[in-house]
Amino acid sequence: MRYLYLLAVLILVSCSSENEKNNKSPETKIVSRFDYPDVLDLHGFPENKQADSLQLFFDLGAWYGFSLPGLNDTAHFGAFAGPFLLDQYKSRWLMKFPVKISLCNHSSPQRCNYSNVKIISFPGILSQEFTNDNFSVKLDLIYVSPSTSLLRTIVKNNSDLSGSFSLSLESEFFPNDQIEVSTRDNELIYKKDKDIISIIPGKSYNLKTFKNEKYFTGVSSELVTLNSHESYKSFSYISVYNENDSIDRSFLKEVPEWLMDKNNKRWNRYLENIFDAISQTDEQYCKIAVKCLQTLVSSWRVARGALKHEGLFPSYSYTGFHGFWAWDSWKHAVALAIFEPGVAKNQVRAMFDYQDSSGMIVDCVFPDTLQEKINRRNTKPPLAAWSVWKIYERTGDKEFLLEMFPKLLKYHKWWYQYRDHDKNGICEFGSCDGSRIAAAWESGMDNAVRFDSAQIVKNENGGYSLDQESVDLNTFLWIEKKFLRKIAIVTGITVPELLADEGNKIRNTFYDQTMGYFFDYNPQKKNHVKIFGPEGWLPLWARLALPQQAEKVKEIMMSEKHFMTYFPLPTLSVSHKMFDPFNGYWRGPVWIDQVYFGIAGLKNYGFVNEANKIKKLVFENLEKQKNKPLYENYHPANGKGLNARNFSWTAAHLLMILWEE
């Protein structure tokens, strides 16, 4: 194993006694991120460069992340694992750790043994604390930009006598890595292929690199002496970038402690905005809300390659999700609007960057289109106007409405031009190339049982449709008309005739009086596709159902024969022979977006007790999972998380449930 050692006495940046007084009024309720330790378990070190099972710390749209050592991992105390670089289909650890800080005895280079170890993550910061007989060491790692992190080291003399110490700083790579090591001014530069890791340990260092059998790199060192109970601070910067990138060095002009304070205020503002939005005082709900916040921020990526605006991955934990999807983006943006409205707007823009001349929005786009082409075969369910309106509700930004309205209207028209086979004003999911699988993907419910017998048919104006009209699609289009009308009124635009309310037509098409539920409809066979799925309660979310219809749908939702499971509201009735939660994807697992639509729909019609019962069961199950990640979906029989970890729309919709719309 190869090591890079940086033996240093870090320059005294500031010394201060820590006799700080708390001037806050005891009556004032202050939101602090430090009230939420280890909401997600971010501990663990990689065993190899491809290890992808760890939970990671990201912020500010960075494409690289870190993790903490475990409490029993004494060999890595003082180190931060990373950086883990996200790279579509070859995500990897660039190093085992870029920085490990150790306290050294003043009379020898041997590192001191630590006791009273605390290794904790808080929202937006990784922290480690250690003590020995005389000194305590505190390490805090934050992000100051998408490409740079800041490590603060605080050493305090806890004894009644003055004492001296030095600090060592070292880096470790994986076996057989070929790393170029160089220095530039006060900067250490590690390069592997085109990836660069830069470490600036502080000013006034006399860096000297040399190589022996252990690839040893050293810097000059000197002793630091502290009086009794005096403290010492030093700051190091870690940057990760590609040799073709331009890196922003403006952080070097800032006072490091100001950057730490700025980070703290930003995260506390996030928490305040989240808690204000959900109006919750129940600690159970607050902790899950914090987990949602951290999950969303961890999925945030700045623009790169074909991703022309920043936005959120569905999950950083699964390489197949390292891109932006249309349906996911609309949902992410609604939640982002609570605490980062600028990112919310850019998430929407990122998909409209790929609106074609006909008005269609592509299904998904990836940063490297040579590795993964943009999927133009299908789009995703239309919720863009909902997303834009929700952003406006949070921001009051009419300019954003004016920017988006013509694009939204063009997208809305596209559905009726290219996905209405018989031109009756009721649309179908479909595809652009005639592929049956892409038509099902367009629904967002990729392998839902209701599509098993559907056939693909060619449309006169181009494109293809399934031979069944879908209740969810037309419900989404109906509510999109509502939001487009609102946008037009607010911005002073004449409301187009296309946006007229056709609720009666949708109710008459999809509601089955005998079954008391909304189903897809096959116009050729003139019958409903009688599969009980979550699409049937979407008209309640949209306030499209009549009261008597909502009553019947509610009864089915609350029935143990259908959807009232241990973890409630699965994507297929438990009574169906194809119900298979573990292997089914959309054939049984619980997806939280559909749970949100169900809870909100019930509340829309006054079924508050039923909605709260479902909500309570969902959050009780999530609470049992403690600091485990949020999953893509859940097993309805036991609440086990399924498929991708750290799933963004799960986080987004849990926050929406807590809004209690």
Of the listed ranges 208-212, 459-463, 567-571, the least confidently predicted one is 208-212
Q: What is the DSSP string of 164-192?
A: EEEEEEEEE--TT---EEEEETTEEEEEE
> What's the confidence (pLDDT) of residue 112?
63
What mean pLDDT comes out for the span 240-269? 93
Q: Which of 192-206, 508-522, 616-630 has the lowest mean pLDDT?
A: 192-206
In angstroms, the first-to-last Cα distance of the chain is: 56
The answer to whether residues 201 and 35 touch, using CB atoms and an 8 Å cutoff, is: no
Tens digits of residue pLDDT in 85-101: 998 778 999 999 998 88
pLDDT at 29: 56
Q: Is the pLDDT of residue 3 over 80?
A: no
Residue 132 has pLDDT above 90, yes or no: no
The pair phi, psi for residue 238, each rounded to 5°, is -125, 120
What b-and-e string marks burial along 468-495, b requiring 16 or more CB atoms within 10 Å of the CB? bbbbbbbbbbbbbbbbbbbbbeeeebee
Predicted confidence (pLDDT) per residue in 419-446, tens digit: 999 999 999 999 999 999 999 999 999 9
| Architecture of the domain delimited by 3-20+28-243+253-261 | Distorted Sandwich (2.70)
Each residue of 542-557: pLDDT tens digit?
Answer: 999 999 999 999 999 9
3-state secondary structure of 262: helix
**Is residue 506's pLDDT more than 90?**
yes
Q: What is the pLDDT of residue 22?
A: 38
Residue 184 is predicted with a pLDDT of: 83
pLDDT at 532: 99
Q: Chain-wide mean pLDDT for the chain?
A: 91
pLDDT higher at 168 or 492: 492
What's the confidence (pLDDT) of residue 187? 86
Specify the pLDDT at position 655: 97
Condensed to tens digits (0 to 9), the pLDDT of residues 23-61 reads: 433 344 589 999 999 999 999 999 999 998 999 999 999
Given this model, what pLDDT does residue 659 score? 85
Q: Please give the pLDDT value at position 170.
A: 82
Q: What is the mean pLDDT of residues 176-182?
A: 85
b/e per residue, 238-263, with b = 16+ CB within 10 A?
Answer: bbbbeeeeebeeebeeeebeebbeeb
User: Is the CB of residue 99 less than 8 Å from the CB of residue 152?
Assistant: no
Per-residue pLDDT at 108 exceeds 70: no
- Whether the pLDDT of residue 409 is over 80: the answer is yes
Total number of residues shown for the chain:
661
Contacts (Cβ under 8 Å, ≥6 apart) of 502: 425, 478
User: How many other CB atoms are there within 10 angstroms of residue 265's CB atom?
Assistant: 10
Domains in the chain: boundaries: 3-20+28-243+253-261, 279-659
Provide the token pair at 559. Answer: 């029935």
Q: What is the pLDDT of residue 105?
A: 65
Q: What is the pTM of this model?
A: 0.94
Please tell us whether the domain made up of 279-659 is placed in CATH 1.10.10.10. Answer: no
pLDDT digits (tens, 9 = 90+) for 572-586: 999 999 999 999 999
pLDDT of residue 208: 56
pLDDT at position 638: 97
| Per-residue pLDDT tens digits for 364-400 | 999 999 888 999 999 999 999 999 999 999 999 999 9
Q: What is the pLDDT of residues 440-495, one digit of tens each?
A: 999 999 999 999 999 999 999 889 999 999 999 999 999 999 999 999 999 999 99
Residue 657: pLDDT over 90? yes
Reported confidence tier of residue 21, pLDDT bands at 50, 70, 90: very low
Give yes or no for residue 14 having a pLDDT over 60.
no
Do the domains 3-20+28-243+253-261 and 279-659 sit in the same CATH topology, yes or no? no
